[in-house]
Amino acid sequence: MESVERFEAVVNRFAGVPGVEPPDVRRGFGRSALRIDGRIFAMLVRGSFVVKLPKSRVDSLVVAGQGGRFDANKGTPMREWFAAGLDSSLDWGGLAGEALEFVRGPAQAGT
């Protein structure tokens, strides 16, 4: 399955979650992103599935060889952004769920 198809499955999975906004036609960074309350938690960038996670979780995924830190073409990998490539066996929907809870924060988790 191609990365676009895998991402579409993630978008469909979160379509009914209150507050979650699907990707739209905006230009620039984040145009293919899932958002909660206007904040990006998962996106497809250059064929990689990118999620915002706690730094410690990103570190463990990178050490395990599951992907790398996301670099928005600025030469500096971002600490709280993880990029999984198409060849990743990780569950993208599960990662997006983790990212959603992280971005929502503890005050709204479970709602």
Residue 72: the pLDDT is 79
Residue 77: the pLDDT is 85
* Extents of the domains making up the chain: 3-104
Residue 111: the pLDDT is 40
Residue 46: the pLDDT is 87
**CATH assignment of 3-104, given 3.40.50.1820, 3.50.50.60, 3.90.1150.30, 3.40.30.10?**
3.90.1150.30
The pLDDT tens digits along the chain (111 residues) read 588 899 999 999 999 999 999 997 555 555 689 999 989 999 999 889 999 999 999 999 999 999 999 987 777 888 999 999 777 889 999 999 999 999 998 754 444
Residue 66: the pLDDT is 93
Under 8 Å CB-to-CB from 70, ≥6 apart: which residues?
Answer: 45, 48, 50, 77, 78, 81, 82, 83
Alpha carbon distance 101, 41 (integer Å): 9
Q: Is 0.85 topped by the overall pTM?
A: yes
Residue 26: the pLDDT is 57
Residue 101: the pLDDT is 97
